[in-house]
Chains A and B, each alone.
Chain A
Amino acid sequence: MSTVFQTQQLAALNASNGWLTAINEAGKAAFAEAQWPSRKTEAWKYCSLKALADHAFDAAATASTTAEQLAEITQIAGLDAYQLVLVNGQLQAELSSAMALSQVSLFSGADAEQQTLIADRLQQARLQPGHHLFNDLNDAALADGVLVQIGKNSRLDKPLQLVSISTGDNHVVNSRVIVVLETGAELTLIEQFASLANDSSFTNNQTEVLVGDNARFNHYRLNLMESDARFIGTTLVDLQRDANYDSFHLGLGSVLTRNDLIVNHNVGGSHAEIAGVYVPKDSQLVDFHTDIEHRVAHCTSNEVFRGIINDQAKAVFNGRIHIHKDAQKTLAELSNKNLLLTNKAEINTKPELEIYADDVKCAHGATVAQLDNKARFYLQSRGIGEQEAQVMLSFGFINELLDGLKVEAIGDWLRPVLAHRFGRDQVFSAEQTGDL
């Protein structure tokens, strides 16, 4: 039995997209047959899809926006980056920097060699653990995408900032990004998802990354959409020998924000550093499903997620670590801490460890934390009221992770945004404290 959503999406698919037809067909067949997830579907147990199932989506985007509006929501003040802007899935050359444009290719403009590379990545993605029906839909609808390729021992001198904005009410955007870092390459990529207020469209994103031997990839995935936006995103990361993946994930919160992150340690010596923050409020839902696959020996991973859940919002964190039988000498750490600000706020947190190798170190912890009484007393002993102390400490709980960001401008920019969320505006601007 398919849902209205499935029927509508199938009907909206284009007949053929040239060399992508094979993947379109595979996705379409799987999507048509897929069971709509329910509370009995393990991977979606706490993630209600009501916001999709009960919603009538239109085929095409209608709303129009001004360049000023767009500029306002794409800016990260203080960030010096090459910007690439996609509006409702369409690349906006006039809003993008020439340098950024020269660094990326569209699938639609791919040469034969790139087509082979892309097709291979797309095929690989279909075999990944946790593959779900929205990945199938993404394959089925795939007509274009963004390819970022950094050549051997090369790097961009600034971060690449990829902004995806949805502006129209009610449409569906399937977006696809493929990143390939060749041996010794380096890239900082900021994926920023934004929407206009009251935009209730659905973004179904998939980003696939291949980090080659000894390459370094710094990745920021920022879900900054307004409350009505629906978002489901998958990030697939393949790490080759001595590859380094350093990432930060933010879920500001919306009626549906679901993120899956799968990191594959494919060859020895690779390291993954993963941090994340989610702060849903009102009736929002944020779900992070992460899966670290230690397939080979001598790899390390460190994952820290923190959430603050306000009002009657709901958050889900499922952190899987899978240490395969040959993955000896693995070091894997996972920590998830949550603060519930009201007694209606909800968190479902679950570490999921599957360990088949015997010589490994794997530490994990998932907690619903209490604010530290000692810290609160310290603030009060300096004249700060109990309520304000509570707010400062809640903000501090996640700001700790912002303090650790490599691209400081992102932390500086997010700090006031998040502080405002907790009802306490920051007094000092980044400019004021810049020289400290």
Chain B
Amino acid sequence: MISIKNLHAKVEDKPILKGLNLDIKPGEVHAIMGPNGAGKSTLGNVLAGRDGYEVTEGSVVMNGKEMLELEAEERAREGLFLAFQYPVEIPGVSNLEFLKASVDAVREHQGKPALDSVNFLKTAREKIKSVNLDQSFLKRGVNEGFSGGEKKRNELMQMMMLEPQLCILDETDSGLDIDALQVVANGVNAMRDPNRSFIVVTHYQRLLDYIVPDYVHVLADGKIVKSGGKELALELEEKGYGWLENGEA
């Protein structure tokens, strides 16, 4: 699905990613954990194509295409989706108009037929319900005045509408109560599919009880320093990251 090789990236001239390797096959769920400031969100932003993140070395190949040469919107149309750690508020742009523009652009690129407004609205209503948000959120400005948890659920809702191939969830569980966590986990699990892969960035093993990963990686100082199965998450929660960083340094 996606193959990240020797990825180096700088933010404002400061090296953040320092030779990161990661291979993800279709249908797999990879969890990434790691200390604050390790570069987890930077990885997500670099993959999504954000301006200001300068890739100095390496490659990211998804379904045979070099992603690093594409604009952010082109990557999204290729099926890459990042659920942001801090989704932005865009007052004045309605969630519904935004979602429609997004879905239209992605479907058109993928050669799928356009959804007319009636069918689109029907689907949007279903999806928003499935993430436990009131229908009125469709009409509101994108994330405008949403609580932290509501923003995360709105990200999930977008993911459901876009049906991406690779979903990157950056701390989608942070700040959620157990009920909301279950809503998110159920949403993700319902989307698991032999052809769809996930990168789940989290600080908490708790999420991984609900979304059971195939692999767990530790990202520290811009590199994957340890990889293992789901039991690694438990170990990390118990021991922290200190033992790893010291060991690898």
| A residues neighboring B (CB under 8 Å) | 372-375, 377-386, 388-389, 392-393, 395-400, 403, 426-428, 432-433, 435-436
Contact = CB atoms under 8 A, between A and B. Distances in A.
23 contacts: A373-B51, A374-B88, A375-B90, A379-B93, A380-B71, A380-B72, A381-B49, A381-B50, A382-B162, A383-B73, A383-B105, A383-B106, A384-B105, A386-B71, A386-B73, A388-B101, A388-B105, A393-B93, A396-B141, A399-B92, A428-B100, A436-B136, A436-B139
Main secondary structure of the interface of B (DSSP, over half): helix
Contacts of A378: 84, 87-88, 90, 142
B204 interface: no
A380 B121 CA distance: 22
Contact of A380 (B76, B91, B92, B142): B76
Contact of A433 (B87, B96, B101, B109): B96
B3 interface: no
A432 B135 CA distance: 13
Nearest to B82: A381
Contacts, number: 111
Contacts of B121: 428, 432-433
A179 to B, nearest CB: 31
Contacts of A393: 90, 93
Contacts of B87: 378
Given A375-B90, A399-B93, A436-B138, A384 B101 contact: yes
Interface string B160-181: 0010000000000000000000
Interface in B131-153: 135-136, 138-139, 141-142
B97 A382 contact: no
Contacts of B76: 380-383
Given A373-B51, A380-B71, A403 B100 contact: no
Given A399-B92, A428-B121, A436-B135, 10 more contacts: A373-B51, A379-B101, A380-B72, A380-B73, A381-B50, A383-B73, A384-B73, A389-B73, A395-B92, A432-B121
B41 interface: no
- With most chain A CB atoms within 10 A of its CB, the pick from B87, B97, B118 is B97
A384 B102 contact: yes
Given A399-B93, A400-B92, A428-B97, A383 B84 contact: no
B98 A392 contact: yes
B100 A381 contact: no
Contact of A426 (B50, B51, B88, B97): B97
B48 interface: yes
A372 B93 CA distance: 13
A435 B162 CA distance: 24
A372 B89 CA distance: 10
Contacts of A373: 51
Interface in B90-140: 90-94, 96-98, 100-102, 105-106, 109, 117-118, 120-121, 135-136, 138-139
A388 B108 CA distance: 15
A192 to B, nearest CB: 23
Among B82, B90, B98, residue most surrounded by chain A Cβ atoms (within 10 Å): B90
A396 B88 CA distance: 14
Contacts of A375: 88, 90, 93
